[in-house]
Amino acid sequence: MKLLVVDDNPDILQILSSIIALFGHGVDAAGDGLEAIRLLQHGRYDVVVTDADMPRVDGIQLCRFVKAQSPDIHVIGMSGDLSALKEMENAGADFCLPKPFGLDEIRSAIEKRFRASSSRHAFAAGSSETRAG
């Protein structure tokens, strides 16, 4: 899977990107929502992991953009502010993580998308075999 990690804190951005890469996924990083939108317009992503509170374009606006343009992209919102997480959920985030969170929590959120994607592909493959057979 290809992921886009978005956070205005360079330390969190670096750590999260490195950890996700260790999970075996491709990762691009953006320092805010505006940079993320530019990357989304030129690349293909399965998951966007975004902080809620950022300058220029925040994670809530980014989530709305992603879901309007590509509803199949899984959005994982993260924030230390529970009201911001509720706003992320209302904007269409598929999963929300309160900061701080553990490695198992982010991995689980990403793997849920991977399992959902795998089961859709298996179903599509099975149904095409049924039609052909």
Amino acid identity of residue 2, one-letter, is K
- The CATH number linked to 53 is 3.40.50.2300
Domain count for the chain: 1
Please give the pLDDT value at position 117. 61
* pTM for the whole structure: 0.86
Tokens of 52: 């809620």
User: Which residue range forms the structural domain that includes residue 61?
Assistant: 2-132
Nearest to 4 by CA among 44, 49, 41: 49
Q: Which token pair is 121? A: 């592909």
Q: What is the pLDDT along the chain (133 residues), one digit of tens a residue?
A: 999 999 999 999 999 999 999 999 999 999 999 999 999 999 999 999 999 999 999 999 999 999 999 999 999 999 999 999 999 999 999 999 999 999 999 999 999 876 766 554 444 444 444 434 4
